[in-house]
Amino acid sequence: MLLEVEGLCVNYDRIEAIRDISFSVDEGEIVTLIGANGAGKSTTLKTLSGLRPVRAGRVKFAGNDITRVPAHQRPRLGLSQAPEGRGVFPGMTVMENLEMGAYARSDHGSAAMKNDYARVLQLFPRLDERRKQPAGSLSGGEQQMLAIGRALMSAPRLLLLDEPSMGLAPKLIKQIFDIILEINSQGTTVFLVEQNAMQALKVAHRAYVIETGEIVRSGTGVELADDPAIKAAYLGGDV
């Protein structure tokens, strides 16, 4: 397994945000974590990226325990996140934002890095058109593309995506999920936290459902999309 989470517990002061959750992500998969607002999805992702301290349990990546590894060191290990709310640097240009994504790399100026710039601009032609514009002048959809592209510039083995469809129009949501499939087909493993369960389950090989800080169900994306209880709770269907 590329990522293994075992008995993870995370608190905000005395409030338990995540209680004893375990899950895994294998190399080459798209795995999604779905749930309602406040269920613990974003806390899980922040913990994986090192932004939240772990009260109990452990996180293993590529066979190594990274539970206590600082957030700024995790991209060097091959784990990178596009955060919720995009989090672009608004005063920097598109290209400067992409350069920030590559800060942890040691191969600046190499052919591999040039290829990664080309790959990102090929995945997101709108960014190529706007490469000299300040990121703050981009639309919401373009900023989401930039956030994903910036994360890709660290050449991750595992890409963490936090609510990539948030605030986007339906047409742009489909485009973002098509790009996630393309990124995965190019060899990058994806762990996706998403409130739009319908879209997430369509692209995921496997999925987990989290409720009030606990994982309550798991299965393939197809299995959960067809589950009557999941349809009723998250997909707008009837039991």
61: β partners: 3, 64
Q: What is the DSSP letter of 233?
A: I
* pLDDT on residue 83: 83
Q: Are residues 67 and 171 in the same domain?
A: yes
96 lies in a domain? yes
Helix (H, G, I), strand (E, B) or coil at 9: strand
Q: How confident is the model at residue 167 (pLDDT cuts 50, 70, 90)?
A: confident
Beta strands in 69-136 (DSSP E): 79-82
Q: What is the pLDDT of residues 74-114, one digit of tens each?
A: 999 999 999 877 789 999 999 999 999 999 888 887 898 99
CB 42 within 8 A of CB 162: yes
Q: Are residues 141 and 166 in the same domain?
A: no
The count of structural domains within the chain is 2
Q: Are residues 39 and 137 in the same domain?
A: no
Parent domain of 32: 1-78+158-239
Q: What is the pLDDT of residues 146-155, one digit of tens each?
A: 999 999 999 9
CB 144 within 8 A of CB 94: no
Q: Are residues 150 and 168 in the same domain?
A: no
Q: What is the pLDDT of residues 116-129, one digit of tens each?
A: 999 999 999 999 99
What whole-number distance in Å separates Cα of residue 95 and Cα of residue 47? 28
